[in-house]
Amino acid sequence: YGVYEVEGRLAGWLRRVRVARAFDGGVYAITAEEYSRGRGNLRVMREALEGGARIVQYREKEKSYRAMYEEARAIRELCREYGALFVVNDHVELALMVEADGVHVGQDDWPVEEVRRVVGPGMVVGLSTHGPAQAQEAVERGVVDYIGVGPVFPTSTKKDVCAPVGLEYVAYASREVRIPWVAIGGIKEHNLDAVCELGARCVAMVTEIVGAEDVRGKVRRVRERVEGWRERG
Ligand code: 3NM
């Protein structure tokens, strides 16, 4: 192989190891300032990291590029301190600009092959999926590092999201999906066990985390529960 090909393969291998580690018993926190009780994204994500979040996604649709750049950079620095993965939602250019660990896209965003081509072998690419057919396609295309599985329960956080796909899709993912995946959509502390019981080992939450009075305590409890399920096998 040429030296660049070796470098690319190594970068890809390191990337997959990092994702596998973060997602195995991980809590995936996502920003949403409108549900954060007047607290800023940076403060809320700092508390989530203190509580043990392993993946942080910067999800922002309203702010200017400059404001997103400043905020995302600050959160990226925090994630490095805590050894957590930092992922930017939708905005590939912002992810590159702030040297995020990864970028997360939805079904209606850029094709994942194009995202991979632009970000290169070193960056994590995640994709939202809303049913077995999309999961299968994502795995077969072989481009993404992980998929989102949801919405498991009803949620009003994502405006354009489809109807809940339910726990059946979680069960399907446990059986069939051979890349890291994260359950998302309406997951709360009180329904967490139902999701983990079916095999989820990484859970993403928006309102349950950012809307918690005690973000740190919330994430810590959720992480302990998810890790407990992982240890049980
Ligand atoms: N993506 P909450 S559901 C951002 O199914 C997002 O892909 C989803 O928010 C998907 O935890 C969702 O507050 C919103 O229900 C999840």
Cα dihedral 140, 58, 77, 70 sign: positive
- Contacts of the segment 217-220: beta carbons below 8 A, 24+ positions apart: 217/51, 218/51, 218/189, 219/27, 219/29, 219/47, 219/48, 219/50, 219/51, 219/52, 219/53, 220/51, 220/52
Are 173 and 181 in contact by the 8 Å Cβ rule? The answer is yes
What lies within 8 Å, CB to CB, of 24 at 6+ separation is 180, 201, 202, 230
Secondary structure (DSSP) of 160-201: T--S--HHHHHHHHHHH--S-EEE-SS--GGGHHHHHHTT--
ipTM score here? 0.99
pTM of the model: 0.97
> Does the beta carbon of 27 lie inside 6 Å of ligand 1?
no
Side chain identity at residue 5, one-letter code: E
User: Residue 25: what pLDDT?
Assistant: 94
188 lines ligand 1 (CB under 6 A): no
Whose Cα sits closest to atom 16 in ligand 1?
185
Q: How far is the CA of 5 from the centre of ligand 1 (A)?
A: 37
Residue-wise pLDDT tens for the chain (233 aa)?
788 899 999 999 999 999 999 999 999 999 999 999 999 999 999 999 999 999 999 999 999 999 999 999 999 999 999 999 999 999 999 999 999 999 999 999 999 999 999 999 999 999 999 999 999 999 999 999 999 999 999 998 987 777 899 999 999 999 999 999 999 999 999 999 999 999 999 999 999 999 999 999 999 999 999 999 999 97
158 is in an annotated binding site: yes
Tell me which residue of 209, 156, 229, 232 sits closest to 49, measured CA to CA: 209
Decide: 185 in ligand 1 pocket, CB within 6 A.
yes
Q: Which of 18, 63, 73, 158 is catalytic?
A: 158
